[in-house]
Every structure is written in structure tokens, then in C-alpha cells.
Amino acid sequence: MSIIPFDDRDGVIWYNGELIDWRDANFHVLSHALHYGSCVFEGQRAYGGKIFKLHEHSERLIKSGEILGMDIPYTADELDAAADEVVAANNLVDAYVRPVAWRGSEMMGVATKGSKVHVAIAAWEWPSYFGEEAKKKGLRLEIAKWRRPAPDTAPTASKAAGLYMIASLCKDASTENGFDDALMLDYRGQVAEATGANIFFLKDGKLHTPTPDCFLDGITRRTAIDLATKRGIEVIERAIMPEEMADFEQAFITGTAAEITPLSQIADYTFEVGEVCMNMVRDYDDLVNGRQT
């Protein structure tokens, strides 16, 4: 299957306040973001032409920028309107939406003073990240080599591009080793998250999920907690050690790209793709497609 490169597509991208041709949405090779990681982003999905929890994503982009000392030059309402405009202008119904903010090329060096903050929003058709079949069979994960850093060593509360460098390393290694993804531990050796998604485990009718104190408390994660609560399932946020996975019955990951996807294996630990997982998958699908409030 041929892959269409992301720099050579038809369509438009919202760039610093206006829609421009997709192929013209470029920046200079000496941009601060490229050299020093001064970049934040969001991942959103549109279902039936409507972006799910759009305003929460826009607010988080602004907050991520604040954590990195970047003043995003648009309000959340303005970012909402821009994202909607991009989806409509590209005639998209079900789509992935990527807002990104970065420091430009005015300054070159570690210091950021004087650098302009740019913002762009792109949208394109993108099916389920792991494929629909994975929601039936469950994903296989290995335990990653790299760990999530401590909150006093990196801006872990921000959706900062630089924090995903180790995620890419872990993701690539997992696929080379025959797995779908990787489970990342944190700096203490506790269960943290997958490379781009939060994680939940089922035991004795209760869901257990790591406390997000050094990684993102995802918007889909919070949505999953709400859905589980509506079903009367208790959700416990706590520190989880890897060896506890031997006693968990079911497991799933959550994220805008991953949506809710069950797991069948993490390293030597296996899980049933059972009723609770499948109910969560269906409930989330109903919610994002407007069949449930």
C-alpha cells in the first residue's frame, strides 16, 4: 500500500489565522521548535463532522503552552472556530485533527525571548489507530525500555512534542519485536501508560488505573472514567506495580487516536477481551457518535 506523505496532499491548513494551501504550510529549518523542542500539540477526532470535546482540547493546548512559557496567541474559542473551519473546508466528516503551536525562527539558541509563537491546525481522514480488528482481539504490548520522567525533570503536565521522543523509540521497538505497542513504566518503576494512550485494568469488577502524576491525565481517560461510573463500575486511581498485572483479568487503553481498545497481552501477562472491555468500547463509540449523552 502506498503512503501519501503528509507534505504533499490536497486540502487546506489553518496557519496563523488563515486557511492556506496544504503544501504551503511550512516553516524554516532554523525554527526554535525543531532544535529545542519548544512545541506543543493536540490530537482531536471529528465524528459526523463534529470534533469530540473540542473546547477541552483547545484549553489544554493553551495550558500546555503556558507550562512551556509559550503564550498561545488565540483564545480557546478562536481555536475551536479554527478547528471547525478546517474540518469543513476539507469536506471531512470523520477525521483526525492536529492543532500545533511552536516557536519560530526569530531566535536561534537555548533562550526563547523574541521568538514568535505560531499556530497551525490540520485535519485529515484517519481510521482507527490500531484498526477495528484490534478492538475484538486485543492488542499485544511489550514493556518498554524507556521510562516516563519525573515531574521535576520534565514538563510532564504539558502535551509537549519533546516528551514523545521516547514514545517513538518505544513504539518503533515494539513493532520491530512483533508487538502492537509498548507499556511504559515511570521513573519509579510503576505502570504509567502506553506510548500514546492511558491504561486501565479490571480486577474483581473494579477498574484500576495509574495516578497521572508524571504523564497526561488524558481527555479520553477522563471520559472512560465517566462511562465506567455510569455503569456502576468503581474506578480506582493508584500506583500500580508491573507484577500486579498477573492478577488483572482485563485491560484496555484510552486515547483520542486509540479511542478505547482492549489488550490481550502485556509481556508475559495475558488478559481476556471480556464483557467490561467490550461494553466500554461500545459506550465510547455511542458517545462520540451522538448516540449517548
- Return the active site residues: 159
Give me the residue label for grid cell 525571548: 113
Three-state SS for 244?
helix
Q: What is the DSSP string of 205-229?
A: TEEEEE--SSS---HHHHHHHHHHH
- Dihedral sign (CA 247, 142, 64, 110): positive
Cell numbers representing residue 3 in the block: 503512503
> Which three cell numbers mark 20?
492556506
Query: Is 231 strand, coil or helix?
Result: coil
Q: Which residues of 95-126 are buried (b: 16+ CB within 10 A; e: fewer)?
A: bbbbbbbbbbbebeeeebeebebbbbbbbbeb
- 3-state SS class at 21: strand
List Cβ neighbours of 148 (8 Å cut-off, separation of 6 or more): 156, 166, 184, 185, 186, 187, 192, 193, 214, 215
**Residue whose C-alpha cell reads 484498526 in the numeric block:** 131
Beta bridge partners of 117: 103
Grid cell of 224 as nine digits:
472512560
What CA–CA distance (Å, rounded) separates 274 from 223?
A: 20
Own/partner contacts of 5-9, CB < 8 Å, gap of 24 or more, are 9/124
**259 φψ region: left (φ > 0), alpha (ψ -120 to 50), beta (else):** left
